[in-house]
Amino acid sequence: MKNLRIAILGTRGIPNHYGGFEHISEYVSAGLVKKGHSVTVYNSHNHPYTADTWNGVKIQHCYDPEYLVGTTGQFIYDFNCLMDARRQKFDVVLLMGYTSCSIWGRLYPKNSTIITNMDGLEWKRSKYSKRVQQFLKYAEKLAVKYSQYYISDSRVIKDYLKDKYRIHSQYIPYGADVITELEREQIDTSTALKEDYFLLMARMEPENNIETILEGFNNSNSNRSFKVLGDTGNRFGKFIRHRFKNDERIEFKGSIFDTAKVRALQNNSYLYFHGHSVGGTNPSLLEAMASEALIAAHNNPFNKSVLHSDAFYFSDSEEVRYLVETVQRKENEQIMVQNNLHKIEFQFNWEKIIDEYEAFIMECYEGLNHERIIAY
């Protein structure tokens, strides 16, 4: 098997300090290096990690003016990354998402195999205006047009792409590691009594149903606390803090990037609320499953395709209130937890995910080069 020169673009960089694509890029890039490939991940020059390598992965720092000019800077950053990738002549370019990259589709490296992870129906996110949503639909079309191969991290996304564009995409979800005994002990009883609090972890965005969840809890008669993990510095986050400032049971803990600490909080929670309503297979959901959390999830196809019958579901604040007041931690609930852990061990483990990425990358590279040889 040929060892390839692979570039990963479309993220703010690794190690992860932001979100899902950064999270999976960490694992996939390091995993591919261990398999003998040369992997370069493109990082924003503002990324806190400033070294040129990370766990054997080459880091290419590119100028990112987002901090100066706002969202427009994302497009400039992606342009800068693509211009560098054209010079590097990689065998494969893996694009994580398309939001600010696909408009440069004509500039994708001509002699590289182009694979795009198609993200999670970004145009459905309620935080975007109608005009931005229209642009995101256009960007999605461009990604389909200019990419040669596609990855979906959710079976729902895979079906959507097949129905909408008549294209085949390879289903490869995110992964997670089963919680270790060391991680279980990261939170001592003085910080969080086991199963004595509810928990949610999410970016402060409307489509994550944070207001719905906290409203349901606010209306409940629960004596437990509710810990909220996520940066509340944006407009919606400030609104949420103000909206529930009089409920002393609700604790806003800010962002926590210490994985062991987050997973211990998930493991110790009485009930973990997952409110994400758009996107594919969500990393924080898999982490909660791997951490043996009992889960209440927003009722939508993305969450159901992962959790099936091994979670409680809610659609509005009244259903949240009902769960807060009635969910027990008995034998049936423990079976749900163990079933989700089993899914992590056999469907969503990182070793399997990395193997699937390598196999698909090799298949795409060899297939495209075979076509080029025939054409020549």
**108, 233: one domain:** no
- Mean pLDDT rounded to a whole number for the chain: 91
* pLDDT at residue 359 greater than cutoff 50: yes
**168, 206: one domain:** no
Percent of the chain clearing pLDDT 90 (strictly above): 74
- At 130 the pLDDT is 83
* pLDDT at residue 298 greater than cutoff 70: yes
| Residue where the block lists tokens 């979670």 | 311
**192, 171: one domain:** no
**370, 258: one domain:** no
The range of the structural domain enclosing residue 236 comes to 181-346
CATH number where 90 lies = 3.40.50.2000
Confidence of residue 20 (pLDDT cuts 50, 70, 90): confident
Over range 324-333, report the average pLDDT.
96
The one-letter code for the residue type at 104 is W
* pLDDT at residue 372 greater than cutoff 50: no
pLDDT in tens, 76-132: 999 999 999 999 999 999 999 988 999 999 999 999 999 999 976 666 666 667 887
**145, 218: one domain:** no
Are the CB atoms for 93 and 110 separated by under 8 Å?
no
Give whole-number Cα distances, 317 to 33, 238, 302, 324, in Å: 46, 20, 20, 10
- At 187 the pLDDT is 57
- At 192 the pLDDT is 54
**112, 238: one domain:** no
Bigger pLDDT: 230 vs 186:
230
**342, 202: one domain:** yes
Structure-derived torsion over alpha carbons of residues 71, 72, 77, 80, reported in degrees to the nearest 10 = 170
Confidence of residue 347 (pLDDT cuts 50, 70, 90): very high
**96, 192: one domain:** no
Q: Full-prediction pTM beyond 0.75?
A: yes
**163, 201: one domain:** no
**279, 168: one domain:** no
Q: Is 10 left (phi over 0), alpha (psi -120 to 50) or beta?
A: left
**359, 281: one domain:** no
**210, 137: one domain:** no
End-to-end CA distance of the chain: 23
